[in-house]
Structure 1
Amino acid sequence: MKYEQRFYRNKFNSQRFRGFQVSHRETDLWIGVDPDSFENEMEEVVRRKIVELRQKLDVYIESEPQFAKSLIPYNSVNAAPAEAKEMAQAAARAGIGPMGSVAGLFSREAGRAILENFSVKELVIENGGDIFALLKKELVLSVFAGSSPLSEKIGIVIPAGIGEVGICTSAGTVGPSFSFGKADAVAVICRDVLLADALATALGNEVKSPEDVEKVIGRAEEFPEILSLLIICKDKVGITGGFEIKLLK
Structure 2
Amino acid sequence: MLFKPKTYRDSFSKERFQSFVVTYKESDLWIGMNADSYKEEMETLALETVKSLADALEQYMAEEPFFKKSLKPCPVSENAPQAAQQMAAAAEKAGVGPTAAWSGTFSEQVGKALLENFSIQELVVENDGDCFLKLQSALVLPIFAGESPLSGMAGLEIQAAQTPLGICTSAGTSGTSRSFGKADAVLIACKDAALADALATGLGNLIKKPADVEKVLNRAERMEEIISAVLICDDQIGIRGEFELNILG
TM-score of the superposition, structure 1-length normalised? 0.95
Looking at structure 2, the residues matched to 5 and 228 of structure 1 have their Cα atoms a distance apart, in angstroms, of 21
2:35 corresponds in structure 1 to 35
Looking at structure 1, the residues matched to 8 and 84 of structure 2 have their Cα atoms a distance apart, in angstroms, of 30
Q: Does 1:199 align with 2:227?
A: no
Instruction: Give the 5 Å matches for 1:62-77.
Output: 62-77=62-77
The DSSP-based 3-state class of the residue aligned with 1:240 is strand
Structure 1 stretch displaced more, 73-82 or 23-32: 73-82
Looking at structure 2, the residues matched to 8 and 109 of structure 1 have their Cα atoms a distance apart, in angstroms, of 21
Structure 1 stretch displaced more, 131-140 or 157-166: 157-166
1:14 corresponds in structure 2 to 14
TM-score of the superposition, structure 2-length normalised? 0.95
**Are the equivalent residues in 2 in contact too, given 1:136–1:162 (CA < 8 A)?**
no
**Are the equivalent residues in 1 in contact too, given 2:24–2:50 (CA < 8 A)?**
yes
Q: Does 1:170 align with 2:170?
A: yes
Change in Cα spacing, 1:85 to 1:160, as seen in structure 2 (3 Å) is closer
1:246 CA displacement: 1.6
1:78 CA displacement: 5.7
Instruction: Give the 5 Å matches for 1:230-241.
Output: 230-241=230-241
Instruction: Give the 5 Å matches for 1:96-107.
Output: 96-107=96-107
Looking at structure 2, the residues matched to 190 and 8 of structure 1 have their Cα atoms a distance apart, in angstroms, of 20
1:27 CA displacement: 1.0
Structure 1 unaligned blocks of 5 or more: none
1:111 corresponds in structure 2 to 111
Structure number with greater CO (CA < 8 Å, separation at least 6) is 2
Looking at structure 2, the residues matched to 114 and 43 of structure 1 have their Cα atoms a distance apart, in angstroms, of 9
**Are the equivalent residues in 2 in contact too, given 1:129–1:170 (CA < 8 A)?**
no
- Number of positions where the alignment pairs a residue of Structure 1 with one of Structure 2: 246
1:86 corresponds in structure 2 to 86
**Are the equivalent residues in 2 in contact too, given 1:188–1:226 (CA < 8 A)?**
yes
Looking at structure 2, the residues matched to 198 and 173 of structure 1 have their Cα atoms a distance apart, in angstroms, of 17
1:6 CA displacement: 1.6
Looking at structure 1, the residues matched to 77 and 119 of structure 2 have their Cα atoms a distance apart, in angstroms, of 39
Identity between Structure 1 and Structure 2 (%): 50
**Are the equivalent residues in 1 in contact too, given 2:163–2:191 (CA < 8 A)?**
no
Looking at structure 1, the residues matched to 55 and 180 of structure 2 have their Cα atoms a distance apart, in angstroms, of 29
Structure 2 unaligned blocks of 5 or more: none
1:139 corresponds in structure 2 to 139
